[in-house]
Chains A and B, each alone.
Chain A
Amino acid sequence: MNPLVGAPVDRVDGRLKVTGAATYSAEVALPNLAYGVMVLSSTASGSVAAIDVAAARRAPGVIDVMTSRNAPRVDAKSKGAGDRTLMVLQDDVVYYDRQPIAVVIADTFEHATDAASLVRARYAKAAAITRFDDAAEYKPGAGGRDPDLRKGDASAALAQAAVKVDHTYVVPVEHHNPMEPHATVAQWDGDRLTVYEATQGVVSARRKLAQVFGLPPTGVRVVAKFIGGGFGGKGTLWSHAVLAAMSAKLVGRPVKIALTRPQMFGSVGFRPRTVQRVALGAAADGRLTSLVHETSAQTSVFDEFMAGTGALSAVLYGTPNLTITHRLRRVNSATPTFMRAPGESCGSFALESAMDELAYAVGVDPIELRLRNDTDVDAQGLPFSSRALRQCLEQGAERFGWSRRDPRPRSMRDGRMLVGMGVAAATYPTHRSPASALVQVRADGSATVRSAGVDIGTGAYTVFTQVAAEALGLPVARVRMELGDSAFPNAPNAGGSTLTASAGSAIKLAALDARAKLLALAGNDPAALAGGADAIAALLRRAGLATLEGHSDAKPGDEQQKYAMHSFGAQFAEVRVDPDLGTVRVARFVNAFGAGRILNEKTAKSQFLGGAVWGIGMALLEDTRYDERTGRIMNANLAEYLVPVNADVPAVESIIVPEDDPHVNEIGVKGIGEIGIVGAAAAIANAVYHATGTRVRELPITPEKLLG
């Protein structure tokens, strides 16, 4: 096998990123660029009864102020899959706090920002549901999906179980907070719209923009060469992007709207609050006889967003009786959205905490308990295409030093500090969508590869270069990867750990197509191509060709019908808890993942590392705090919405359990962006229990929950 794929190649875009030369959406320099600043509502329900923009209009440098009175009419109602209802000044109804109610457009950022502060709105307030607990629970029916899964009779089996644990787990609202705030630069050329957008998917953004403005897809181009983190938050097109394009239309100039950090807590999605009941029934030896996983999650009053929070309960363990349900509650908030492992990350906190509780109830080691409940098929009876859970638990335990753990809670100390060791299993499904790719080989022996996929920091530029270079027989340095332009061949969003499997497969097929054409030029003599770039250059020159192209249109087959396809992992955390002050610090973290073929060990480990860091944030810090009287978020900044800083993060070791899964896709990858967070919070929470004897079932685990 060619050593290129899998090798820990340095990022091909590394130099651009360390020199400041990588440009992000807000940094696109266009002549005559105007600056748009959104004005957001300060009430959660009702309507804008009056809006006074006179002072803003008079302010220096202001070009126009866009409100519902003068906003261009667009189609804000139609929705495709994954779309959110847009709040783009088509009426005066207010559904949530920090909803856009106006845009001030001016010649400079300072003028626009100042003028925006002069806009005054008067609201006709209506009753708002701002407390999750006050909202009625209902069964969602969006998309015709059944939100429930039932096998056997879980409640009867639970009633008869020898051992039972039955508890409720809460994960609060969390906000993505990528370091790059959402930003859009929109420019019209007649009826053609170009948008530089911080998005995880230029093709889906183009589709949505075309629909909103009633344009053919060919009339819209969306570009995202670099985006400063997405984590799901940039996976759908939000109101500000459309408002930027509307503003540009209104003033006849290109307009940039870059969100402020407080605005990042407005109309750009978040992880919904979830309240989960997990009930486990087991035989005396710990084998599950029943698993009940009931989720109640927040959505908005105008959109339905549901993550598959309980889905992993159909995958991780075998049980004859299973009930998984999902319910929603409508709150006057913005609509939640995908956030790193939406569903699984929260579901794991509940299920894997419950498994830890069961281990104590049964009196068996938590790893042994998981091994006893390992399964070869998912809840619907489909065999796994590959499943390395056992290896992950065993190899991870070995590396972590699990055998040193005294299972008794509050039994281990390091000086004054309580020491805790915790484990959780993880899984995330393997997804794939249709994708195309274009490979252009040039007479100088170099190649350019194009895909519309976006590198959100995962390393897509690098791993795709490796895939193409290997298939073409070229060194990495001779392959140029171009991404993030909707004019390039179709690719799905960089989200749901989907892009590499989809576009990577397409790139491999396109490169093989080019390779086959080269081989044909060489009279089907493989030896003629053995010389790499020089041989290819010579071949094209002899044929009198300046370029040669390879194409592919790749799509999933029927593997989803035949196999349950998932990544698996085990995550181990060691914590230090100050017994007096209740502060928790993670001292060590070990991951073990079986996630299909790893294209680049270096960037893959960075994905796993990032997942662990997100788990630290989720377990210990992150908590969006609403004033329940008003529905307004009162920690809308990075000083009080806490994400981990460097001092919070210990060394994180990631073991890769090799897997060769021929079923998933052409390149054998399962996706690695999400699974790193899935078990992390539960591993930490379980470690905190082991350290303290206190089981915290509501995240984050802050000092007040451990003061006793």
Chain B
Amino acid sequence: MNAFRYAQAHDVASALASVAGDPGATYIAGGTNVIDLMKENVERPALLVDITGLPLRGIEPTAHGVRVGALAVMSDVADHPAVARDFPAVAQALLLSASPQLRNMATIGGNLMQRTRCAYFRDASQPCNKRAAGSGCGALGGVNRRHAVIGGSEQCICTHASDLAVALLAVDAVVHVRGRAGERSIPIEHFHVLPGTTPQRETVLERGELITAVELPAAAAARNSYYLKVRDRASYEFALVSVAAALDVSAGGRIRAARVALGGVAPIPWRAHAAEAALVGKPANAQTFAAAAAAATRGMRSYGQNGFKIALTQRAVARALAHAGGAA
């Protein structure tokens, strides 16, 4: 790990000012991602601004849902009764993430900002356009069992590692951020950006902008949401494929609203719009779910070792929809 200066921020504005104006500065909260990457020399910040003292830890039920402070740790959010009740996919995704220890440390804001587990990104001796622009993508033609089958580019086929973000997509969460220019709110679907030709850019945040809260809007579909994580071992592993499904089904069994989001398949948490379109207005049954599952994989391609994710995604979507629809 490189030597760095350390500062504690006591208010949001000073935190923003110190990071926005200093290209060598970065925030630290739970530290589970940035410390890990600093040990690999992937991140070498000159200044770490500790934001754990900021008053952004609360988890508050509101008239319209639940507002989760960016510094709330994963375990507290998962354990919150309103989250578990109204946004089961969110609680499930959190509890299927990492380990109890890491969930006690890692924050919601940090979770959204976490960087890919791509082995080429994490290994400073290897080519990676995200880490070293223009050096190439080692995963193309390399060890890519865990890599993206959709949304990648010639420059980058990494996957986003967050379970939470996938569940947030399915409940239409909104990310509140604060920059020097002020506050803005970003629907989670527009928060992460595809690698394209600039894989080093991962979110729409400007330098220094800080996530302050994530808002979970209450909705019938969110209450009927389900998170399915498929992995090799039974726990403590990143997803091979994950699915967050949310369904609002009428008393007559017709689907009024649907969200399908995928993890482990793309450089960003992936919203499967085609699958959603195949669901809305249809009866909530196995046939509909199968059609939606097939639609979810449209546009997916193999890069060598990861082609199995296409079939796996299809089956996982069908399974997750069955759960969300109460049929599993």
Contact = CB atoms under 8 A, between A and B. Distances in A.
Q: Does a CB–CB distance below 8 Å link A and B in the complex?
A: yes
A703 B240 contact: yes
Nearest to B40: A262
Interface stretch (B182-190, B280-288, B311-319): B311-319
Contacts of A585: 234
Given A113-B1, A580-B315, A647 B142 contact: no
Given A642-B232, A707-B311, A634 B119 contact: yes
B60 interface: no
Interface residues of B, number: 35
Nearest to A705: B308
Given A113-B1, A634-B120, A644 B233 contact: yes
B3 A640 contact: no
Given A580-B315, A704-B308, A629 B142 contact: yes
Given A629-B141, A629-B142, A703 B232 contact: yes
A557 B292 CA distance: 72
B14 interface: no
The secondary structure that dominates the A interface is loop
Most buried by B among A585, A626, A703: A703
B125 interface: yes
A242 B236 CA distance: 36
Interface of B: 1-3, 39, 41, 117, 119-120, 123-126, 138, 141-143, 145-146, 230-238, 240, 308, 311-312, 315-316, 318-319
A582 B316 CA distance: 11
Kindly name the residue among B141, B233, B308, B318 whose own CB sees the greatest number of chain A CB atoms within 10 A: B233
B234 A645 contact: yes
A639 B41 contact: no
A648 B230 contact: no
B2 A581 contact: no
A646 B237 CA distance: 12
Contacts, number: 83
Given A580-B319, A625-B143, A707 B233 contact: no
A60 B233 contact: no
Given A110-B1, A634-B120, A704-B308, 4 more contacts: A647-B233, A703-B312, A707-B308, A707-B311
Interface string A594-623: 000000000000000000000000001100
In terms of DSSP, what is the predominant structure of the interface of chain B? loop
A42 B120 CA distance: 13
Nearest to A585: B234
Nearest to A582: B312
A645 B231 CA distance: 13
Contacts of A644: 233
Contacts of B141: 629
Range for the number of chain A residues in contact with chain B = 20 to 34
Nearest to A59: B3
22 contacts: A110-B1, A113-B1, A114-B1, A114-B3, A581-B230, A581-B319, A583-B230, A583-B231, A585-B234, A621-B232, A625-B145, A627-B142, A627-B143, A634-B143, A639-B237, A644-B233, A647-B235, A648-B234, A648-B235, A700-B232, A703-B312, A704-B308
Contacts of A648: 233-235
Interface in A531-555: none
Contacts of B126: 42, 632
A132 B140 CA distance: 21
A110 B319 CA distance: 48
A160 interface: no
A627 B138 contact: yes
Q: 5 shortest A-B CB distances, which residue pairs?
A: A704-B308, A42-B125, A647-B234, A647-B235, A634-B143
Contacts of A375: none
A448 interface: no
B102 to A, nearest CB: 11
A571 to B, nearest CB: 20
Nearest to B44: A117
B145 A581 contact: no
A632 B143 CA distance: 10
A700 B145 CA distance: 14
Contact of B233 (A42, A110, A645): A645
Nearest to B237: A642
Contacts of B234: 585, 645, 647-648
B55 to A, nearest CB: 32
A702 interface: yes
Contacts of A640: 117, 119, 146
Nearest to A625: B143
